[in-house]
Amino acid sequence: MTKIKVVIVDDSALIRSVMTEIVNSQPDMEVVGVAPDPLVARELIKRTNPDVLTLDVEMPKMDGLDFLEKLMRLRPMPVLMVSSLTERGSEITMRALELGAVDFVTKPKISIQSGMREYTELIADKIRGASRARIKPRTLHAATAGATTPLPQLRSPLTSSEKLIIIGASTGGTEAIREFLMQMPSDCPGILIAQHMPEGFTTSFARRLDSLCKISVVESAGNERVLPGHAYIAPGHSHLLLTRSGANYMTKIEQSEPVNRHRPSVDVLFRSAAQAAGKNAVGVILTGMGKDGAQGMLEMKNAGAYNFAQDEASCVVFGMPREAIAIGAAHEVAALGALPGLVLGHLATHGGRALRV
């Protein structure tokens, strides 16, 4: 078995040591070099040709973002960011994902050594996912790329008020969701989103999307009426569910046990949409590792929802969509760039008065 070659870049000797121990404890990966700063890392990358680089977001000598930007331009490769659990750390991490980092893990606030060891399984899984990621050249911003392609128009306010778009994603999903939402018109149906992301980062994620999109994007607080032109993102500490109160759709936040090792879980959101919205829902499953969301999407289909899955070529990691497609949960499979138009086209075509459930 060929092992995944990993280079660790972090200014903390303790983090470098613990990360090395975690990686080398796995049978399918090994650390081929460690670096205290990007300048040393640059030479290590040339010498060892790693499969995955783990990179601290805040680095001496050269800012981690500057290094990442140069790396993705000159020598694109899978990068896993290691971020601090701070507001600044989360903002930098969101920017790193925009620049092409595949994913990120967080440093624990207290007892770094024991905390990192508890993360062994998570870190190993993320390195495996990163090693399989498709690293593509950076393209035009979605707003620019989509500007020349007129999107279908929704026929009436009824489409927006009674239909819903339900989205699930994981690895690579932050950028996929950004691309999708930036093409949504201000009168689109309400959107609920479950993206695998730790607590503290969904706030920055929602704020960033809100500044870029025509629609309003918020981190869900629960008990909100789901409104047209609004997107609600599951907070990193809780499951997000769709419920009904009379004629209104409502959000619900729940801190029950993780599902498929995730909280928020896509399956939880999709299952709630199947129960609360039925034929009024359109499901979208985007890039991500694992199978979270596949069974929930099948339940949506069985309840009458119409579902889309991102295709393999445009995914960073073709895990979650593949599982949904394999069990017959998706009606259509398409590239990320085509999905907004297809979803809006379906809503425009089937957007008369929706059947109540």
* Residues identified as active-site: 170, 196, 292
Contact partners, residue 147, CB within 8 Å, separation at least 6: none
C-beta separation of 129 from 103 below 8 A: yes
Q: Find the Cα–Cα–Cα–Cα dihedral 39, 40, 43, 47, rounded to 10°.
A: -160
Exposure letters 213-252 (e unless 16+ CB within 10 A, then b): bebebbbbeeebebbbbbbbbbbbebbbbbbeeeeebbbb
Tokens of 161: 């008020």
Contact partners, residue 246, CB within 8 Å, separation at least 6: none
Task: Give the C-alpha separation, 59 to 61, whole Å.
Answer: 7
Tokens of 174: 């932050």
- Strand-pair partners of 239: 254
Q: Is 26 helix (H, G, I), strand (E, B) or coil?
A: coil
Contact partners, residue 109, CB within 8 Å, separation at least 6: 85, 115
Q: At what angle do helices 173-181 and 201-212 cross, to 10 degrees?
A: 30
- Residue whose structure tokens are 């129960």: 275
Task: Give the C-alpha separation, 295 to 303, whole Å.
Answer: 12
Kindly list the distances between the CA atom of residue 10 and the CA atoms of 6, 80, 82, 205, in Å, as whole numbers in the listed order.
13, 12, 8, 24
